[in-house]
């Protein structure tokens, strides 16, 4: 049996990806093997290739929005079977024993976050992602793709989808909510789709008017240019939630606190390579705003999310590339061309 994958690996941050053979993780009773058919391209992939978030353990095969066909399962695997289409997101392992895992928040495992790529398993094996032909990992982080959803659509839900769905669900977005989605991009367009499907009034938000028309095409009920004082005045204290999926580095807390109704929620899922500004404790007290962050989602929310998306018929805006054309896809990604997700296809 082949114990290797063929992947497109980053060997340094300054060179194109190269195809190479690398070892699969050691097999165990919870393991799943998949032949990868599709992998979404995420901003996290580019940050990792560029070492924007810290050192990368090269060679590194990125890609954590994986869909493939299950070819083998371990003796203790119960959630998926051979022949199923499985999906994998940003995390591929959790200890299942710590208090946080036992509470159902395995994505916050106290052992530490084990990324689907650029990570290390307890036995010392490196993790390799979806820019490859095969994937092996823990079945408890593999999710069944609904029959009604195409594999290319499903792929990008497993990071961008769950990252936006999880906080919207956690903070009870519903038909009474007025949700501002800050940043209309790869994450933000999922935020719009999910918030609308949950029944909310959705307001697109960006630092200029360039995304105004496309926000309407996505289904937004209105739009706020965050540098336009009249736009800001129209929504003063009206939003129940702000989902921050991306923002420019002139971000100021006061701008967004002024838009949120008392007891509103500022939900951050953005991970820029710069820090938010300091926050005045008095400003926080007087506004009665809750600030939260979300890292993808635990397994039950992952499966719930993809089932909800299929039930509602949600369609991400994607462009597909052949896996062998990955370096051109990365070049186009860096040029800001995605509207709104790129998906690689074997």
- CATH number for the domain spanning 280: value is 3.40.50.720
**pTM reported for the whole predicted model:** 0.95
Q: What is the pLDDT of residue 192?
A: 98
Strands 18-23 and 4-9: antiparallel
Q: What is the pLDDT of residue 18?
A: 98
Shared domain for 20 and 75, answered yes or no, is yes
> How many CA atoms lie less than 13 Å away from 180 in the CB half-sphere?
34
**Coil, strand or helix: which one is 134?**
strand
67 in Cβ contact with 145 (< 8 Å): yes
Shared domain for 286 and 302, answered yes or no, is no
Which of 293, 308, 332 is the last residue in one of the domains?
Answer: 293
- pLDDT, tens digit (0-9, with 9 covering 90-100), for 77-126: 999 999 999 999 999 999 999 999 999 999 999 999 899 999 999 999 99
Shared domain for 12 and 135, answered yes or no, is yes
**CB contact set of 150 (below 8 Å; sequence gap of 6+):** none
DSSP 24-36: PPPP-TTEEEEEE
Shared domain for 280 and 312, answered yes or no, is no
Shared domain for 174 and 152, answered yes or no, is no
Number of domains the chain is built from: 2
Shared domain for 228 and 321, answered yes or no, is no
Q: What is the pLDDT of residue 272?
A: 86
Shared domain for 302 and 267, answered yes or no, is no
**Residue 5 φ/ψ, nearest 5 degrees:** -115, 155
- pLDDT, tens digit (0-9, with 9 covering 90-100), for 274-285: 899 999 899 899
What are the residue ranges in the chain where pLDDT is below 70? 1
Q: What is the pLDDT of residue 2?
A: 76
Shared domain for 194 and 179, answered yes or no, is yes
Q: What is the pLDDT of residue 113?
A: 86
Domain carrying residue 284: 161-293
């Amino acid at each position: 049996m082949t114990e290797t994958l063929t992947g497109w690996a980053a060997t340094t941050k300054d060179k194109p990806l190269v195809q190479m053979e690398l070892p699969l993780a050691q097999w165990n009773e919870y393991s799943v093997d998949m032949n990868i058919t599709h992998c979404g391209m995420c901003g996290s992939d580019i940050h990792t290739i560029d070492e924007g978030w810290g050192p990368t353990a090269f060679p590194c095969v990125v890609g954590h929005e994986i869909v493939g066909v299950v070819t083998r399962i371990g003796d203790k695997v119960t959630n998926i079977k051979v022949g199923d289409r499985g999906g994998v997101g940003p995390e591929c392992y959790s200890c299942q024993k710590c208090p946080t895992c036992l509470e159902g928040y395995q994505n916050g495992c106290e052992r530490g976050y084990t990324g689907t790529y650029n990570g290390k398993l307890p036995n010392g094996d490196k993790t390799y992602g979806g820019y490859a032909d095969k994937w092996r990992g823990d079945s408890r982080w593999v999710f069944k793709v609904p029959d009604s959803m195409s594999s290319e659509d499903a792929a990008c839900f497993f990071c961008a989808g769950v990252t936006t769905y999880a906080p919207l669900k956690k903070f009870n977005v519903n038909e009474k909510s007025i949700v501002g989605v800050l940043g209309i991009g790869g994450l933000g367009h999922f935020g719009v789709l999910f918030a609308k499907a949950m029944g909310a009034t959705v307001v697109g938000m960006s630092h200029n008017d360039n995304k105004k028309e496309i926000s309407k095409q996505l289904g937004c009920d209105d739009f706020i240019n965050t540098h336009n004082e009249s736009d800001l005045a129209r929504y003063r204290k009206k939003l129940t939630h702000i989902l921050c999926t991306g923002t420019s580095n002139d971000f100021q807390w006061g701008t967004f606190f002024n838009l949120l109704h008392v007891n509103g929620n500022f939900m951050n899922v953005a991970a820029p390579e710069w820090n938010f500004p300091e926050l005045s404790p008095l400003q926080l007290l007087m506004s009665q705003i809750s600030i939260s962050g979300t890292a993808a989602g635990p397994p039950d929310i992952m499966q719930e999310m993809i089932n909800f998306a299929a039930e509602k018929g949600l369609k991400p805006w994607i462009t597909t590339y052949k896996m062998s054309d990955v370096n051109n896809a990365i070049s186009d990604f860096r040029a800001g061309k995605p509207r709104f997700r790129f998906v690689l296809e074997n």
